[in-house]
Amino acid sequence: MQPSSNAPEERHGPLAGLRVVEVSAFVAAPLASMTLAQLGAEVIRIDPLGGSIDYHRWPETEHGESLYWASLNKGKRSVTLPLDTPEGQRAAADIICADGDGAGILITNLPARGWLDYEQLSARRPDLIMMRLLGNHDGSPAVDYSVNCASGFPHATGTGPEPVNHVLPSWDVAAGLYLTVGLLAAERRRQETGHGQEVTLALSDAMLATVGNLGYLADVQINGASREPGGNSLYGAFGRDFSTADARSVMVVAITTRQFRALGRATGLTEKLEMTGPLMDVDLTTEGGRYAARHAIAAVLEPWFAARTLAEVRAVFHGSGVLWGPYQTFRQLVEEDPRCSTQNPLFSWVDQPGIGILLAPGSPLVFSGDPTPAAAPAPRLGADTDTLHSPVPQPVSG
C-alpha cells in the first residue's frame, strides 16, 4: 500500500472550511487541534523559531526527530515566527485574526497576556473564538502528572497503600477532547449570533468533573467511603487478569450475568463457578455478588488458564461471547494485533518527513455520509511560514 499523499492543503471531511490556529505545546491543546484536523479542519500551528518546548520530546528517533511531535501534529500546517519580538507577535496575530467565515479560531495553553490577550485579539476580530487551557481554575499552573496525583486514582491503583501512577496522560487526553467539544459549541453559537467568545478549561477541572461523573465524589459524601486499591480486579463486578501456560496474561471481564454464563460455557466450568455463590453466600446474578465472590471465582478459573497457551485461549473464546483481551506491550500491539494494521480503516501509511514511512491512525470517528480523511503526516517545522505569511525580518545581532 502506498503512503498517503493527502496534502494538508486539500481539506475533506465534515469540518472542511474551518480554520483553526494553534499556539501551544505538550498534549492537550495539540491533541484538540489534531482531532479537528483529522475531521477536515485546516489547522495552523504557530511555533517560535526552532520549535516550541515540546519539539524534541521523547520518544524520538536515533537522529533526534521527535516521534511524539510528529504523532500529535498530523495533518496540520506549520509556521515558525520570532514570537519573542513585536514583529513576530504581530505576524502571529495576523494569522489568528485573518479574514474568512470559518477562520478566527485560536487554541492555546500559553499565558493569555500581551499579544495573546483575548481583548487585544478580539478588538481586531470581534467574532474571535479563543479556546484557552489553564492548569487550575484560578490560573495557577498544573500538568497532567500534578493533577493526577490529587485525583484519588493513584491510591485506588495497585495492591497496597502506596500510590501508583499510570503512564497514560488521561487528563491531557480528556482536556483535549473537551476543548474540541467546546470549540464546536462556540463555533455553532457564532454561526447563530455572529459573536465570538473566550472559552476556558482548567486541566484540573477536567479531572474533577470525571471523578465526580464516575460517582467517587458522591461515594465519599454519601457513604463515607473512599475506594481502596484492588489490583487488577474490576471494581464492582467480576474481572481479573490470568496467566497462561506460555507466560502471557489476559484480562477477563464478566459485568453482566449473560457474560458470566458465557465464561462458564466456554471454559466448561459452569457448575464449579455456580458453586461459588452459595459458598460465599452471595447472589451471582448481580454485579455486586460476583464482585464479592471474585476471589473464589478466580480460584476456579486460574488452573484453566494456566493449562492453556494464549493461542489456545484465543481459539476457545473466539465467538463465545466472553469479554477478554490479551495484555500486550507496545511492541506486541504493533506486531501482533490485527486491529493495529491497515485491516482497520483507522490506519494508513504516511511518509513522515525526516522519519520515514509510518503506519498512522486518522480519526476514530466514522461518518456514514461524510467520510473522514485518511491519516496525513505532520509537517516539517515551519514548512508553511512563507505560504501563510510574508517572512518576518530577523533581528540583527552584533
Determine if the peptide bond prior to 30 is cis (ω within 30°): no
pLDDT under 70: residue ranges of the chain: 1-10, 390-398
Specify the pLDDT at position 373.
Answer: 81
Specify the pLDDT at position 372.
Answer: 74
Contact call for residues 398 and 30 (beta carbons, < 8 A): no
Q: Are strands 129-134 and 105-108 parallel, antiparallel or unpaired?
A: parallel
Tens digit of each residue's pLDDT (9 = 90 or more) over 2-52:
444 444 456 789 999 999 999 999 999 999 999 999 999 999 999 999 999
Q: Residue 36: name the closest of 179, 207, 243 by CA.
A: 179
Helices (H), 254-320: 257-267, 270-280, 287-292, 294-306, 310-317
309, with CB counted inside 10 A (0-12, 13-18, 19+), is middle
Q: Are strands 42-48 and 238-243 parallel, antiparallel or unpaired?
A: unpaired
pTM of the model: 0.93
Specify the pLDDT at position 369.
Answer: 86
CATH of domain 19-212+338-388: 3.40.50.10540
* Long-range own/partner contacts, residues 368-372 (CB < 8 A, 24 or more apart): 370/13, 370/14, 371/12, 371/13, 372/13, 372/14, 372/38, 372/39, 372/40
What are the extents of the domains in the chain? 19-212+338-388, 249-326
In a 3-state reduction of DSSP, which class is residue 164?
coil
Sole residue written with cell 491497515: 342
Known catalytic residues are 172
Specify the pLDDT at position 389.
Answer: 76
Q: Report CA dihedral (256, 258, 263, 268) to the nearest 10 degrees.
A: 150
Specify the pLDDT at position 390.
Answer: 62
Helices (H), 52-143: 67-72, 86-96, 118-124
Q: How far apart are the C-alpha atoms of 73 and 143, rounded to whole Å?
A: 20
**Could you tell me the maximum CA-CA distance found in the chain, to the nearest angstrom?**
86
- Phi–psi pair at 78, nearest 5 degrees: -125, 130
Distances 132 to 80, 107, 113, 180, 352 between C-alpha atoms, Å: 21, 6, 12, 11, 29
